[in-house]
Structure 1
Amino acid sequence: MVPKKIYRPLAVLLTAACTLTLTLTVGADEDTDNGYYYTDNDYEYTDDGNNDDNGYNDTDNNDNTYDDTDDNENDDNTDDNETTDTEQDDDAEAFNEDTYQEQQASLEEENRQLQEKLQITAEELQKKRQTVKDLQAQIADLHDRISASNKHILTLNDEITEKQKLIEEKSAEIEEVLALLRIRLRNIHTAGDTTSLEIILGAKDFADFLDKAEMVKSMSDYDTNLIHSIEDQAALIAAEQKALREKKLSVEAEKAQLEKDKTAINQLLEENTKLVESLMTDQKKLQNEQKDNEAKQEELEKAWEAYLERQEEEKQRQEELERLKSRNVMVVPRNGDKYVWPCPGFTYLTSTFDEWRGVNNHGALDIAEAGIYGAQVVACYDGIVFSTYEYCEHDWGKDTSCGCGGGYGNYVMIDHGNGKISIYGHLSGVTVEAGQTVKAGQLIGFV
């Protein structure tokens, strides 16, 4: 492809410096710029294959003067698609089997790591979920135990209250017995046992009364047994009440510990629930990354398939080119300083040099006729190939330029020295490369 900033000065140079630019096409489409332009009117241009004389003679081979005031384009080609075509070609060249394998290996390794992380996350998530389940079970158990403790405490309170009532009843009985004893003792006093009466009546309380009563030897066995019976009952009720109070304290302590355990387990449950949520978020993220990876792999496979298709198309194109090359190659002989006709056997011009096209003059000669596709294109003069382009695949008749090769499609540019350059455009195949020396009549490509 010839960048515009280079091509335009060349076009000015060629117009004034006796150089030809040719474009060879498959069809005879006069609206397509398939220019084969020749600007040195002193040279004779012949086709030695059929002796057609196109009437160009050059009597001043060394006149390389050119005019920089040429205002028109020498070929109605557009360069709008140059960058796009170049980028596409670069992309096509950049993607190959090695890059495919590298990208595939990278994506597979990334997917393997994601699978590994997902497996670890899933296992950890399962463990944490089981932990949460266990903690919830423990909390439920503690809740039941605390409820049972509350019920037990209520029961103990009821029992303690009941024992208190019994104690109060026994105390009333004791008071009643004491009242009877006092009556009996008064009777004893009336009988004259003053010393015993004084001892008994001087008791400060019931216990003291009993102690002193023991010293009263004159008390009857009935009175003694009655006192001992009430004493034993009161002691038993007091002991039962004490046991209930101690049991209540124990149950309350157990309840407090259960409440403490429940608080700790609730905290663990909250922490593990947050961990489960975090792991689920990580799992979702990894799953999304895995989907992205799979999408990239699908895109890579599509790119690989497209690459293989391009390779197959290129293979078929090269095979077709080799088939064309395998034909008998015609080397057109030179005749002195005369130019050799570039497309032996085909001389029909669909557009001539400098013809008016409504906007500017056509800057090339267009050669086209039936059967020209695949025809040989030869160098019109000795020279050195200094530029080629062979990436255009649009080798069919069309009304507008595809934009490849700066509008020339596949082309060959030959420097003949002394400022003379020939350009052969719209080729289906190129058989030479930049830097190669060619002779007039040597095969350089195919229409």
Structure 2
Amino acid sequence: MKKKIAAGIVVSLLITTSVNVFATDTTKYKNQINENNSKLNELTEEKKEIQDRKSEINSELKKVIEEINALSNEVSLLNNNISNKEAGIAQKVLDIQAMESRIIELEEDIKVQNEEIRGQEEELAIQEGILSDRVRAAYKFNSFGSIIFTLLESTSIVDFTERLMFIEKMAAKDREVMDIIDGIILDLEERRTELEVSKQESEAVKVKLDTEKTELENEKAALENEKAAVTNKLSEQKTLEDQKRSLIANMTQEEQELASSIGDIMDENAALEAEIQKVIREAEERARREEEAKKKEEANNSSSGSVVSSSGYVRPTSGRISSPYGYRIHPIYGVRRMHTGVDYAAPSGTPVVSIKSGTVILRKYNSSYGNYIIVDHGGGVSSLYAHLSGFAISYGQSVKQGQTIGYVGSTGASTGPHLHFEIRINGQHTNPANYVR
């Protein structure tokens, strides 16, 4: 009898020690989990902010591209206008050069005509001088009386004839001088008329040349304004292109930060999973030792060592199975991944119950599972309930089979209200359909 009492005391001490150690370890992990939860919440919020900013950048980038396209069209129109104006200016330059050449020709013609006129005026002066001298001489000596007197003094018919012929030659000479004078006067009038026409044409060409030069200067100024407009437009385009590159660079950097944050979350999740498995293994080992101690105590107190086991597992919640255990295309990440449990589609707030009696060894949040619970049922068996909208139990609490432990939700990486349910054997996931229908 004393040996049985002593054995009971030893078992009680082992159980008490095991519980104390479990409580110490779980408190430490709980603090670490709470700290990690805060970090994960921050990363989740940061991820949302980056996604919102990325959406804004995409909108800004689309606007920049539209503005660049509009500017490109404006630049094309300006370039066409400049090409047309340059062609017009080139033609005006040719016209001005032709006018300048014509002015030079006219000035040369005017110079030659002036020289010819001066020569004819000098010849006219000479002929007029000759005629004037003869007129004065005839007046002085009474030319008509002298002619008669000369003829009367003739000594013979021959002499008379010779005298008469001489007189006729003198008269013909006078007529010739007068004809020359008349011709010179007529030619001078024609040349003076031509000179006046040349001068008028020269003046008209000069006026037109001045007009063309003024128009050319105006068109050149307009062309400079057009070119300045093109330069400004191109500068705006360059600014927009720089803005576009800056936006793309910022987007790339934020995407890298997002990828880094996601990687950090995944690393953190992996570390937490390792901690979870470690806690499960430790809890299972403690449960195993406690079970052995109980069996040993019962063997000492009874001739029969059998232990009555539970009648099995109950369904964790109502609703249909929307996604079974096994490989699938992840509904959020779009990649083929192992689905480590089954999903029950149910309205948000639907009660979730423990499939079997056990101890709550985890009650926490992460970005993948959202709010989730792990219950250790002993014998290496544990169950996981994820994406909960809320909890109905506390960490370290003992729960009974069928007891409500939480409520269906859509927290974490979820596309809608449902329960993600897992059964783990010695820390490794297995198909829940083998245990729960």
Normalising by structure 1, what TM-score?
0.48
Normalising by structure 2, what TM-score?
0.49
Choose 1 or 2 for highest CA Rg.
Answer: 2
